[in-house]
Structure formats: C-alpha cells, structure tokens
Structure 1
Amino acid sequence: MTPEGHAQARSKVFGEVAELYDAGRSGYAQEMAAEVLAYAAPGDRAAVEVGAGTGKATLPFAALGIPLVCVEPDARMAEVLRRHTAGYPNVRVEEHDFEQWQPGGRRYGLLFAASAWNFLDRDRRWDLAHAALAPGGATALIFGPHGIHDAALRAALAAIGDRHHLTGAPHRFLASDFSGDEAGDWDPRRPAAECRRDGRFTDLRAVRFRQERRYDPDHYLRYLASLSAYRVLPDVSREQALAEVRSLLDAHGGGIDVHQVTDVFLARAR
C-alpha cells in the first residue's frame, strides 16, 4: 500500500470507537476559532470543515455563529457530530470522503481541517481546497500535538511504542520540543512548504496556542486507544501496549503532565 493509501485507511478506523474518540480527545484551544475567523474574514460566506469527526474543532466555530458545512466520511462519527451540534442551526453535516465530496456551485470563505489534513490524498488536497474556496478565501490547518514534561517518562513511553511497532504515537515529544513560537516546527510534514510550492495561496501565517494539562491514567488510555496508531494494531498487541502504558503511569504518580499545543497554519487563496 502506498503511504497515501495507508493514511487514508488509517482515517477510517475512528468510527469503530466514535464514543471513545469523543471522550478521550481534549479538543483545541478555545481562542483558536476566533483567531482563525479574524484572519479569514469570511463575511457572509459559510465555512467548510474537512474531516469534522465528532466536532472537537466544530463546536468553537459553531458557537461563533458562522454557517458551517461539516464533511465527515464515517457515519458513526457523523452521528456523534450531529448530536453535539443539534443546538446549532448554522451547522450542516454531509457524509462524504472529502476527495469525493462536491462543493457544486458553493464557494466558501474558509476551509479548515483539524488533524485531518494528513489523512487526505497529498497529490490532490491543495487542488480540492482551492476548488472549494472563493477568491480570497482562507485555509486553516489545525494540529494538536503535545509534549511530555518528564523526560524519563517520555523515554519509557517511546520504548513501549517501539516494542509494539507503533507509528505516529503521540508520546514521542518532550515539552521542550515546543519551546519555539513557529507553529508546525514539530512535524516534518508541516504544510507551509507544500503550500508555497502550490503557488495559489498567499499571506501564509502560523499561530501557536499553549495549555498545560494533566491526564489521569484512564483519560490518557482512552485518548491513546482512540488514535489511529493504536487502532490499526492487532487487538492483542493494542491491549498489551495499553496495559504497559497504564502500569508505567501508575508507577509515575498516577498520571501524566503534558504541554498541549494547538498549531494553526493559515493561507489565503489568491
């Protein structure tokens, strides 16, 4: 399977644990949506969200009143999303893979994707984003990594990941890896270089928000169990890896302190 095909396959594993995904994910910095809308200035145009999931990024935008079209490929995730957005008449959910979704005659003032961009077809995603945007419309790509404060704990968690052949496990970063202000400097797939090569976007910016969080073992294991890196493991391997993480956290004071980051990459269609 190609890397693109592997990424797309991993994007489809969340629905099998939609409720766990919703309970385990902490969401993004609350001030993020206002910052994105201030940049995008969409006027009376709606926004489209790619890979909306259960609404972790949707709700902050919905609460600000902007009309939203949420494109979500998994019916089980979309069911949870509809439940969360039932009180927001400005939100519409459409069940499609973004690669097959058709904007029709609609053109949007903002397209945003929260942790979904890396699952899209790399050869087409900028074409698809540009096709959905009105001239001058904005793209916002949102990521939510975290770094662990305790270096010994991080090393032990990374060793568990290595033993179980986890790719993309979240506990591979230290909090100090996020000491800079450049959004996306943690990720070798950061989108700025791709966007510059594309050439159809301008006014590229990066914004970083920071929070300190403490997870108890139950919450952190729910979070891990909802990640694609864990979902694609055989059941026995996944349960063994999670059991090892629990034992490790219990031995380190019954929790984990993390530096939570919300990174936003912004660009505007020429």
Structure 2
Amino acid sequence: MAAAPDRLKDTGRATPRRTVFGEAAEAYEDGRPGYAEELVAQVLEYAALGDRTALEVGAGTGKATGLFAARGVPVVCVEPDARMAEVLRRTTDAYPHVQVEVGDFEAWSPSRHRFGLLYAATSWHWVDPARRWDLAHSALGPGGTLALFWNPVAAIDPELFAALRDIDRRHGVEEPPHDALASRYGEEAGTVDGQVGPGWPVDEIRRDGRFTDLRTVRYRRNLRYDTARYLAFLASVSAYRVLPQHDLAQLLVETAELLDSRGGTIDMLGINDLVLARTV
C-alpha cells in the first residue's frame, strides 16, 4: 500500500526520522487525521478487555489515546519524545486512567505487569523490527490482543494530486502522505492497486508463530481540510520535517497558493487499516 504518514520500509533499526516529531508536536496535534470510532469499537470487541489495562506504543499527542480512554479503558502510554508527551498529557488530562511514560519502547520494561491489549497507532514501523515481536509478546498476557493500525490519506482530485506531486518533487520530498490517488485504494486492508505495500506486518506476524486469530479490516471515510490545517498536517510529517528549513517554508508557501487557488480546501480519502491478533 502507499505509505501512511511516516510509514517507511523496514530497513533495519529505526531511522533518525522517528525523532523529528517533537519539534512539530502542536502541528501534529492540529493537522494529523485521527481514527474511526468503528476501529476502536472493533478493537475493544475483539480484545474483550474487561478491567485489564491497555498499553499504547508511540502514543504521540493522543490521536488514538483519547478514543480508548473515553470508553473507560485504562491506558499506559509509552512515548519516546518528551515534547510529544507534554501535548499528550494535555489532550488526555480529562482521563485520570491514562498514564504517560516517556521513553523508547525498546528500553521500556513492563516489569511483571502483563497487558490485555497492546496497540500502536501509526507508530509500529518505528519500533526496532529485530525486537518488536518479542517485546509485544512479553508485554501481553495469555490471549492478549495485538492491534496495529495506520491512517494513510489519498487525494481524490487527480489534477490536484498531480500538482501536489510536482511541488513535492521540486523540493525533493520522498513518500509524501498524498502519494496515491484515492481511486487506487480498494477494500482490502494494507493494499494499493490490490498489492500489499511495504511494512504491512501480516506476513511477519504469521512467521512469528506466537500470535493467532489474525484479522484485518479497512475503514474508509472522506476528509476535508482547509489550507491551514493541511499545512499543519504536512509540517508534522517526517518526509517534510527533514527538509532544510528554507525548503520546507517554500514548499508550504507553494502548497498554500495551490490550495487557495482551488477554493482553500482539499478533499481526501482517509483510510484506517487495522491488524488484529492475539497471543497463543
């Protein structure tokens, strides 16, 4: 499938791009699309948590956290960036059953606690691929649920899509979040043009052998961003954050001019792709 924002091929240990989000934490909170309520409902129905606690890996500013916490789920959030965690604490301040811990998941220890649910919202690709399945399995109790999900977006208008790609190419952006037309997304989770994209974890989960009852679901919804929110969205994506500051500023100016010339909005297809499995 086309890359979700910041979703990269697994080429070994996480790249430095995982560290650029904190400097854009407010833009991340303002611009990033969230997740469908139906997805959260599906995860919780599958997990049947009862009074067990959930563990969130790479919680960011709480785009998914609040949805689970609002349903009464106790959540321990592990977030590697202190600046993102500061926003996360603010966005979840109304939920005393949310606990925020700052640190890399690879270095974090659940001690003797085992969780009923481990979920990662557009963050699992940043966890060390050599260790992540061991870490997930050790954090979950028997029959515990693993829920991994991403939220790619796709431009609906082919002419606008082409114009955005021209701007990206001029400034050397690779893997922009609008890297595929909406018409290329079918019904099968993890795919574009019917082909499984890089980083989709299903085969890894099957090879691991410690997870069972594997399920995948794709949710689709239409999104409309105004110019300001779309610029905040782009400013929070690592492919843009790694540009030299002058180049990023110029790209955002050109993007704003383009969107404003077309009514000041962009219509996109929002995708939520979900993988569910449980420990053997």
TM-score, length of structure 2 as denominator length: 0.92
Contact 2:156–2:181 under 8 Å retained in 1: yes
SS at match of 2:180: coil
Asked whether 1:197 is paired with 2:207, we answer yes
SS at match of 2:72: coil
Q: Deviations over 1:209-258 (max 9, x none)?
A: 22111111111011000111111111011112212211221222321110
Pairing partner for 2:240 from 221, 230, 241 = 230
Query: CA–CA distance in 1 between the matches of 2:34 and 2:174?
Result: 22
Query: CA–CA distance in 2 between the matches of 1:56 and 1:214?
Result: 18
Alignment-derived partner of residue 188 in structure 2: 182
Q: Deviations over 1:101-153 (max 9, x none)?
A: 10110111100000001111111111111111111111111100111111121
Alignment-derived partner of residue 95 in structure 1: 102
Contact 1:201–1:269 under 8 Å retained in 2: yes
Map 1:41-190; keep pairs closer than 5 Å: 41-178=48-185, 180-186=186-192, 187-190=197-200
Query: CA–CA distance in 1 between the matches of 2:252 and 2:224?
Result: 18
TM-score, length of structure 1 as denominator length: 0.95
Contact 1:140–1:264 under 8 Å retained in 2: yes
Query: CA–CA distance in 2 between the matches of 1:166 and 1:206?
Result: 30
Contact 1:4–1:120 under 8 Å retained in 2: no
Query: CA–CA distance in 2 between the matches of 1:132 and 1:21?
Result: 28
Which is worse superposed, 69-78 or 26-35? 26-35
Of structures 1 and 2, the one with the larger relative CO (CA 8 A, separation 6+) is: 2
Contact 1:4–1:119 under 8 Å retained in 2: no
The one-letter code of the counterpart of 1:119 is: W
Pairing partner for 1:261 from 263, 271, 276 = 271
Kindly report the root-mean-square deviation, in angstroms, between the aligned alpha carbons of the 2 structures: 1.4
Contact 2:33–2:151 under 8 Å retained in 1: no
Contact 1:184–1:190 under 8 Å retained in 2: yes
Q: Deviations over 1:21-70 (max 9, x none)?
A: 11111311122211101011122221100000110000010011111100
Alignment-derived partner of residue 231 in structure 2: 221
Query: CA–CA distance in 2 between the matches of 1:155 and 1:124?
Result: 39
What is the aligned residue count?
Answer: 267
Contact 1:8–1:120 under 8 Å retained in 2: no
Q: What stretches of structure 2 of length at least 5 have no aligned partner? A: 1-9
Query: CA–CA distance in 1 between the matches of 2:122 and 2:151?
Result: 7
SS at match of 1:43: coil
Using the TM superposition, give the Cα deviation of residue 8 of structure 1 relative to its aligned residue in structure 2, in angstroms.
Answer: 3.8
Q: What stretches of structure 1 of length at least 5 have no aligned partner? A: none
Contact 1:138–1:267 under 8 Å retained in 2: yes
Query: CA–CA distance in 2 between the matches of 1:70 and 1:31?
Result: 21
Query: CA–CA distance in 1 between the matches of 2:169 and 2:105?
Result: 32
The one-letter code of the counterpart of 2:76 is: V
The one-letter code of the counterpart of 2:213 is: D
